[in-house]
């Protein structure tokens, strides 16, 4: 079950990053594109440590 959760999170993070890049990092547009609220988008960006350069804060720490 833990493996499935990690796979889902990795897919979710990649989907959000792709949407942000395609929408020029406009969070509201990216949220609409993938069908989530702006609030959820902000939460997920913070949860996954996503930054505009495409490198998450968790990747920087490794």
CATH of the domain at 13: 1.10.10.60
pTM of the model: 0.81
- Model pLDDT, residue 1: 83
- Model pLDDT, residue 54: 62
Is the Cβ–Cβ distance between 41 and 27 less than 8 Å?
yes
- Model pLDDT, residue 62: 42
pLDDT by residue, tens only, the chain of 62 residues:
899 999 999 999 999 999 999 999 999 999 999 999 999 999 999 999 999 876 555 555 44
List alpha helices for the chain, DSSP H. 2-22, 27-34, 38-48, 57-61
- Whole-angstrom distance, CA of residue 38 vs CA of residue 30: 9
Domain range for 7 is 2-61
- Model pLDDT, residue 56: 59
Is the Cβ–Cβ distance between 17 and 54 less than 8 Å?
yes
Total domain count, the chain: 1
Q: Report CA-CA distances (Å) from 57 to 27, 35, 52, 62.
A: 18, 25, 11, 9
């Amino acid at each position: 079950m833990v493996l499935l959760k990690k796979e889902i999170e990795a897919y979710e993070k990649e989907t959000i990053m792709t949407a942000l890049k395609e929408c020029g990092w406009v969070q509201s547009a990216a949220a609409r594109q993938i069908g989530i609220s702006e609030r959820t988008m902000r939460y997920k960006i913070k949860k996954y440590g996503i930054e505009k350069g495409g490198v998450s804060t968790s990747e920087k720490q490794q």
